[in-house]
């Protein structure tokens, strides 16, 4: 008998992209929850009992049963999906309908079919500032090699924001704090920093606020944000 690892194990420390996550059967979703929460998958098959290490990141698409629209207050109207598996993701964002974005996506897919895809730089970027594919890959490798440490200011900012959510009964849990720490480290890594600062925490909290999570788990009072300058992410 042979045991072959699945995509999450084979991906190593890379990334796994999944479509129609909601269509996966419950046993598969259960294994994914274990992998995302404990970074391992338990296997008991053909007389083999072991755990396989999982170190990849997961990017997944979940189909919504009905269209959701933002209300004037910025929250989504309608029922949002709930699932233990969704709670394992650090950030969940609703991709809203955008005709201009659809046109760009259609043009890109047609270009892929024709084999004529080319990297384009923004019109505001000078030719000397544009990065080649090789340079971009090199920057990503540099970023992935870093392990930013939390500074004292970042630790205070994370604790303060988490306690704010708890006081407001916004549904924040220890998982929420763990997500905020990981995303703050990712923000610092993207800037090739060796230390996580309070500004990185602000960027992450703003990111979570703009995702669909505020509508379900981060319904905090708007006055907490009125005096803050919205950071760019």
Tens digits of per-residue pLDDT, 4-45?
A: 778 888 888 889 999 988 888 888 888 888 888 888 888 887
pLDDT over 90, % of the chain: 20
- Which tokens sit at 132? 């080649």
Question: 191: closest CA among 232, 226, 153, 230?
Answer: 232
Three-state DSSP class for 52?
A: strand
How high is the pLDDT of residue 191?
93
96 CB contacts (<8 Å, ≥6 apart)?
68, 69, 70
Residue where the block lists tokens 């296997």: 43
> What beta strand segments (E) does 10-106 contain?
15-18, 40-45, 48-53, 57-60, 69-70, 76-77
Token pair recorded at residue 99: 């005709």
Which residues lie across from 102 on neighbouring strands?
Answer: none
d(CA 122, CA 217): 35
Mean pLDDT of 177-184: 92
Q: Cα separations (Å) of 101 from 68, 95, 107, 114?
A: 17, 11, 10, 20
Over residues 72-99, the pLDDT tens digits come to 555 555 556 677 888 888 888 777 667 7
CA 165 – CA 214 distance, rounded (Å): 11
């Amino acid at each position: 008998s042979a045991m072959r690892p699945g995509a999450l194990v084979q991906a190593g420390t890379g990334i796994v992209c999944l479509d129609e996550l909601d269509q996966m059967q419950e046993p598969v979703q259960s294994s994914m929850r274990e992998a995302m929460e404990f970074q391992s998958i338990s296997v008991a098959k053909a007389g083999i009992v072991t755990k396989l290490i999982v170190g990849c990141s997961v990017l997944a698409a979940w189909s919504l049963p009905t269209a959701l629209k933002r209300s004037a207050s910025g929250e989504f109207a309608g029922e949002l999906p709930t699932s233990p598996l969704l709670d394992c993701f650090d950030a969940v964002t609703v991709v809203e309908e955008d005709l201009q974005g659809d046109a760009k996506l259609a043009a890109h897919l047609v270009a892929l079919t024709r084999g004529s895809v080319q990297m384009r730089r923004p019109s505001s970027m000078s030719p000397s500032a544009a990065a080649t594919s090789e340079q971009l890959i090199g920057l990503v490798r540099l970023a992935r090699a870093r392990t930013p440490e939390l500074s004292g200011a970042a630790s205070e900012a994370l604790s303060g924001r988490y306690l704010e959510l708890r006081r407001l009964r916004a549904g924040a849990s220890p998982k929420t704090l763990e997500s905020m720490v990981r995303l703050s480290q990712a923000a610092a890594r993207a800037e090739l920093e060796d230390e996580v600062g309070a500004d990185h925490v602000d960027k992450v909290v703003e990111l979570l606020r703009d995702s669909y999570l505020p509508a379900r788990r981060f319904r905090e009072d708007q006055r907490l944000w009125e005096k803050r300058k919205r950071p760019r992410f």
